[in-house]
Amino acid sequence: MRVLLLRHAETDWNRERRFQGWRDVPLSATGREQAESAARLLATTRIDAVWSSPLARARDTAAIIAAPHRLAVQESEAFREMGFGDWEGLTRDEVRERFPEAHRAWAEAPHEATWPGAETLAAVRARALAGLEALRAAHTGQTICLVSHGITGRLLILEALGLGPDRLWSFQLSSTGISELEFRDDWTTLHRMNSLIHLADGAVA
């Protein structure tokens, strides 16, 4: 199975550097342009199925990408963003001020960080990998597009690279960044990561 893994397009909260988590924040106008650019790039790529987190920002990005292929978007809770609990709706500066110790842990040792109402990275990883196994069982030999989120997507890529959640901040996933993973019975390959070639004209940077 080949997976074209995208982070959802931009929301106003992304631009404001707010923690979104499970909040259902819609795409911004810029985000819709980003998704349309990604859709144009992928329009000539064979895609057998489009999957998404159920959150609107991912689902709407996926719908724009699926349209040229005349595919319905299928949703899975497994690929929902990490639940950030009491941080949701707050900016990074507000979190740093109100939760200094947890914020420091999140920056320095994210796999050990905990705070009220939040999922642990271990819990997010477990559900994302279970979702991935379900996709592999359903789409053997196929190419799928999966639209997910910053943390969930990072964990899937780390797994493909054989790295643990402690390496969460080793790379960036940008809005509509495209990563390509290939899964076989005995190995996994990362063919590209966080490609933004569809935004290269700068119109929706």
* Catalytic positions: 8, 81
DSSP designation for 171: S
Q: 181: part of which helix (H) or strand (E)?
A: strand 178-183
d(CA 16, CA 9): 14
Q: Is 138 helix (H, G, I), strand (E, B) or coil?
A: helix
CB-based contacts of 42, cutoff 8 Å, min separation 6: 4, 65, 68, 145, 178
d(CA 54, CA 79): 8
d(CA 111, CA 105): 9
d(CA 89, CA 116): 14
**Is the alpha carbon torsion for 166, 87, 95, 8 positive or negative?**
positive
Contacts 24+ apart (CB under 8 A), 190-193: 190/157, 190/160, 190/161, 193/157
